[in-house]
Amino acid sequence: MEILLMSLAIILGCTVFYLFHQQRNLHRPPCISGWIPWIGAGFRFGKAPLEFIEQARIKHGPVFTVFALGKRLTFVTEEEGFDVFFKSKEINFEHAVEDHIYRTVSVPKSIFLTSHGLLYGVMKNKMKISNLCQFSEKLVEGLHEQLESLGTDGSKDLYNLVRHALYPVTVNTIFGKGLYPTTQENIQEFLKHFQIYDDGFQNGGQIPECFLRNWSKSKMWLLNLLEKSIPDLEKNETLDDLTVMQLIANTLRPRAKQDKVPNYAVLMLWASLSNATPVAYWTIVYVLYNPSVYENIMEGISSVFGEAGKKKIEISENDLKKVPLIKRCVLETIRLVAPGMITRKVIEPVKILNYTVPSGDMLMMSPFWIHRNPKYFPEPELFKPERWEKANLEKNAFLDGFVAFGGGKYPCPGRWFALLEIEICVALVFYKYQFNLLDPFPKQNFNQLLGVQRPSTPCRVEYKCRK
């Protein structure tokens, strides 16, 4: 009899627990998991993450959770969730990236959490719109120099051509001269290590380093390079015009976090090269493969700078405003190759649509997919720079639904600088060279979560300096 009663009590207890749990879960977004504990949907998600998200959205609706590698990733895919994502007090940026920052540049969480707000403010201020004139001359001068070193004609993969032009110019502007190598051998070594580091940046934040030996070696190589270079980079001080790098070092120094300056410098190096360069590349590709857009750009360039050719023209922000098609092409390109994901962490349970997302969840938003939603961008797959005619670009406003630079309290602090350098690069490349395309439109193997999409096949071109 006693055993019977006890069994009944256990069954009743389990039923109550089950019902209670069901009740709570009813308010949680639908969850996609797998049968292997901890791994969950990790394999399926990892294989083709962006495709996986789109399939999940079609099947489960605008808010859903993916359980993978012990983490709950909750995706918001429609505008009802955007305000919560960017503005809610229950959602936090720093806690979402602290692990990743620790693994990719070895900055301990406590240091990252206490320094982030200050460093962000310094970077935002240095690269704000009203400061851009400090950069344009350096960028134009540097790009002329780099492009001249390509010779009057040749053939090259366009991605390499753009990297050859933009890497040194960006590094010299953000860090000051002395960091970017100058001999062919050292440049090749830098390119090799940066590429390995960049390719592995998204995995480097998730998978233990012992499984990523090459990536780990390249990270150490970059850290060593910065450790060696920083004392000289700091000496170049002219008080009224500190580089972004010097400002970062000055912000960390009084807080006794000086030994972490090289680590932050590696992060800055990655942030400044990793997105802007592929965007400049894709913009040139999209324009070259759209002859009518190309013709209009060339007309605009000749009307402002004179007939395209070899002259060492100067380009100011004002000049660029007179060829607005360039900026429209850059923004349309960014829309199409936007970062796969931006993240926040839920620190208090938060309501999104009819669901309650529990604290501890990572909240994920995909600019890439938002930009492919016809509600925001009709015919979203097409390259249509003219759609940006509706945006008030004079007032630096983007189109509704454009979230490639993130948003809320910490949008990309380098966005205005990035747009300026990409526009200058595109204008100069088209001013100076005629291209003959040797390959079909490069394949777009869209799989990049952290950062903009990269090409997966070459785009070789023959280039010839205009007379």
Under the rule (CB under 6 A), what is the footprint of ligand HEM? 120, 123, 174, 271-272, 275-276, 279, 334, 339, 342, 404-407, 410-415, 417-418, 452
Instruction: Kindly tell me the number of DSSP H helices and DSSP E strands found in the chain.
Output: 19, 11
Are the beta carbons of 461 and 438 closer than 8 angstroms? yes
In terms of DSSP H, where are the helices of 236-305? 244-252, 261-274, 276-288, 291-305
Question: Which residue's CB comes closest to ligand HEM?
Answer: 406
103 among annotated binding-site residues: yes
CB of 186 to ligand HEM, least distance (A): 23
Of 84 and 334, which CB lies nearer to ligand HEM in the complex structure?
334
CB contact set of 331 (below 8 Å; sequence gap of 6+): 385, 388, 391, 393, 398, 402, 419
Q: What is the CA radius of gyration of the chain?
A: 25
Tell me how far, at minimum, the Cβ of 73 lies from ligand HEM, in Å. Answer: 15
- Could you tell me the smallest distance in angstroms from the CB atom of residue 466 to ligand HEM? 27
**Are the C-beta atoms of residues 65 and 361 closer than 8 Å to each other?**
yes
Cβ distance to ligand HEM smaller for residue 32 or 424: 424
What is the DSSP annotation of 47-93? HSHHHHHHHHHHHH-SEEEEEETTEEEEEE-SHHHHHHHHH-TTEES
Smallest gap from Cβ 90 to ligand HEM, in A, equals: 16
Provide the minimum distance between the beta carbon of 170 and ligand HEM in the complex, in angstroms, as a whole number: 7
In the complex with ligand HEM, the residue whose CB is nearer, 308 or 325, is: 325
Please give the single-letter amino acid code of residue 396: N
Quick one: 142 or 407, whose CB is closer to ligand HEM? Answer: 407
Report in angstroms how near the CB of residue 141 gets to ligand HEM at its nearest.
18
Angle at 186 (CA atoms; ends 182, 192), nearest 5 degrees: 125
CA distances to 76, 140, 197 from 165, rounded to whole Å, are 38, 11, 20
Beta strands 350-352 and 355-357 are: antiparallel
- Ligand-binding annotation for 253, yes or no, is no
- Residue 56 or 370 having the CB closest to ligand HEM: 370
Whichever of 61 and 411 has its CB closer to ligand HEM, that residue is 411
Q: Which residues are annotated as a binding site for substrate?
A: 103, 275
Q: Which residues are annotated as a binding site for heme?
A: 412
Q: Which residues are annotated as a binding site?
A: 103, 275, 412
